[in-house]
Each structure stands twice: as structure tokens, then as C-alpha cells.
Structure 1
């Protein structure tokens, strides 16, 4: 389990510690050196690195060619860089990985929040968090490639329950670059039906 002190120190302030903890538990890793590489949906076995420098060496050949996730947030390597030479061992540092990962997840959350019509009803929060985590895993939400999309700004999840960002946030370089496709496109649904939305695409997702 991730240390709560680390969450409070390093995570994006627009996410509550409880949501960050849920995010890491559902989509992250306990191991700061964790590497996941998938090509065409198939997992590629990558030897566990002994240190962050070896971790960078291990992923350089895959970034841009595969879905590469790293560290405690399983951050999508390739986001925010224009060349693999820009990858540094810092990306495996727990605090740095948490800072970058939660900032990007917060953007994903705002995309989901906007799709839901920026609701204020606390009862929809669990579904919104689930959708944001699912979007993080696949890289896609309702036909939008969330890692490449522009930050819509506004509330992060429930308006008034989290820090509200009135303007789109500069993602500290978190834009689409060397990273390849992070997921298969899914069928876009009518946003006007959000109240009765049932997403069957998650069945079988682990």
C-alpha cells in the first residue's frame, strides 16, 4: 500500500488523497521500478531493473512502439517527451512518478467530468472515478485519446468536493509525443444518455 505521507506530499492537489489511493490501488503498482510493456495487447516480459538507470535503458527500445507503463502510477512512458533520449531515471522516482502520474490522471478526470456534464451530485462520484481509472488503463474514453487530448479545465470530479481549476492546466509538457497508441478506440456514446450509461466494455478487464 502506498504511503499516505507520500500521497500528501507529491500528488496533484486537485485530487483528494482517498482518490489517489484508490487510483494507485486499482491501476498502479507497489514497486517504483515496475515496468509493463504491451504490444498489440500482448504483454512483453521485461526483466526487472536493478535501479532507475537500468529501468530507463530497459524501456527506451519500446517507447513509441508499444504501450509502456512505469512506476507506482504506471505512468505512460513517452507522454511529455519528443525523443527517448529525454527519458531520465527521475521518472522512476516515487515522488516524481506520483506527481506526474496524478497530474495526468487529474486531466483524465476532468475529461470524464466534462463528459458527465460537471455534476454536483456526490452519488455519481464512484462511477466517475471508475471511468477515469478505466480511461487511464486504456488511454481512451468515449472515443477520446485522453493522454493526447487538451485539458478542458473546470472541476476535477465533483464540483466543490475537489479543488476547482477554472482554466485548462498546463500539463508540464504532458502532451502526446513519442508514446504510441495507449489503447484501442471504443465506440462513442451519446453524452445525453449519461444518466443511464451502461458500459459493457469493461467486462473481463483486470
Structure 2
């Protein structure tokens, strides 16, 4: 709701008081614009995630939006490998050419994945949780970091969303709330995308088995059904 400005009261203010009032109004307007931009980003992510089933494209879409809205340098999504009890980098800015793996018990990402807590670290190299090994491997220097858990529909942690190096200053409580709103949306869609991949593989395996049975009954057309399956993919 807009506030009505009391022009009579303004007439009695000094020049310095008027400037202060103006600055306060400008700050409020800037705050409203930032809030509106973040709301628009959430709607954009939700709309596009619901249409995307390819895993890497889905995560890259979210990372790019988070990087922009939180004014960060990089984002990384680490997924949990239950069989090996490790975290691995599914996608990440600056990690296009290689994969990072480490024990789930190690580093800030490991702590968040294990405890399900959110960690906002203002000075990584002074944090007892920080693992500098990744910086050494990548040649990157991490100053500050925001890490939140990614949970599926059963509220199980399936990975972590990590944002690195705020371009100006440190990550704020508002940044935490924003990432906490985005992470569960991404996690659920990630799980849906994985279910789609699993279903597709199951269907392809079934069709392959069926085509082999059909071809085995007629040696003259051996391999024909399988080729049809490939062309129809």
C-alpha cells in the first residue's frame, strides 16, 4: 500500500532532512525492485523447470539464474552417490571439463549433506569445515560461500546447492532465504528428471528384448526390428 506524503510537514524540514528523506525513499524503492526481481526469478525458474526433463540443462538453468540473482561468481550442484558415500559435481561454473568427487564427510558440502543444515560462510579459509583441496585442484580462490541442502519429496538430502564468492560483500540472510526457496524446487524436478531417465532406459530395454524375440522367429529379417527401434529413437 502506498503512503501519502504529507507535503505540509515537508515544508518545515531543513535541506539536510529533505535529503535524508529522499535517500530513505530511494532505498525503499530499490528494496522493492530487488524483491520484485527475486519473485520474478522464482516464477521463471518454476515455469521452466516444469518443462525441462534433461538433467544437465535443468541444473544449468537454475545455476545461471541463482548466480545472477544472488550476484555471485559461481554455483555448483553436488549430488549424493549413495553407493560410494560420496558427493560429486553434477554441474558447476568453471567445472565444465572435469568432475570433482570427495567423501560425503568432507568439506562444507559434506557437512551440509550429512546434517541437512544451511551454512553461510563469510571467510572460507577461516572455517573449520572448509576443504581447500578443491581450490588447489581448480586454481580457484573461494572467499565466501552459501550452501543449502537439496531434498527430495521424502525430505531426504540428495545433494547440495553451493554458491561461491558474492561479487560485493558477503551473502546475506535474504540470499539464504532465496536459495532455500529455490533448492527444494530444483531437487524435486531433479528427481522427476531422473525418474524419466530411468523409465526411458527401462522402456528401451523392453523394446530391445522384444525386438530380439521377434527377429529370432524370422531369420530373414534378423536385426530389422532393432534397427527400427534405433531409427524411432
Structure of larger gyration radius: 2
* TM-score normalised by length of structure 1: 0.26
* TM-score normalised by length of structure 2: 0.23
The structure with the greater share of residues assigned to strand is 2
Q: Which has the higher contact order (CA 8 A, sep 6+)?
A: 1
The structure with the greater share of residues assigned to helix is 2
